[in-house]
Amino acid sequence: MLELNAEPLTAEAFAPFGDVIDARTSDSFPINSGRTQRHHDLAKVDTLGENAHTLVSIFVSQPITTPLELTFLERHPQGSQAFMPLHEERFIVVVAPAGETIDSGDVRAFVTDGRQGVNYGAGVWHAIQSVLEREGEFLVVDRGGDGNNCDEHPLDLRITLKD
């Protein structure tokens, strides 16, 4: 069993795995006669393979408790996957670099602060949606199309949250 303590999510620490989506730290410019700030192009959306297209969905997730015990990580080889909380929900993020196998020394665990979303790069191993404290609603942008887009890799993990 691999035990990890979830660390606060930062764009720098998450960079090898994808993008952190956060209006507080992103560049923006005024539009709509200055009434709106556009926080522009915050995540790299990839949709690969036959008949690939972008899906916009809403996930309503039941909360998990910590320590969070996992038995696998998953990946989407044909596309990225972004999760943005709609009501400042905090969630646990567990990732490992893209590749055919997972080296347990490369696994990282993070906790978001409610204002952050994540975009997993295509092929990046990650835990399934794991919202904390209450039922969560997330806008999800990922890939639709032909062929398999979800692989699982067995891995026994225990994720703790030291506040």
For ligand UGC, the binding residues (CB under 6 A) are: 74, 81, 126, 128-129, 150
Bond prior to 67 in cis (omega within 30° of 0) = yes
Which residues, including other chains, have CB under 8 Å from residue 103's CB and lie 6 or more apart? 96
End-to-end CA distance of the chain: 22
* Separation of alpha carbons 5 and 158, rounded Å: 8
Angstrom distance (rounded) from CA 28 to CA 141 = 21
Whose Cβ is closer to ligand UGC: residue 31's or residue 86's? 86
For the bound state, the minimum distance from the C-beta of residue 35 to ligand UGC, rounded and expressed in Å, comes to 35
At its nearest, how many Å lie between Ni ion and the CB of residue 75? 8
Of 6 and 18, CB closest to Ni ion: 18
Q: Which of ligand UGC, Ni ion, none is residue 151 near (CB under 5 to 8 Å by kind)?
A: none
Q: Closer CB to ligand UGC, residue 119 or residue 129?
A: 129
Residues within the interface to Ni ion (CB under 5 A):
81
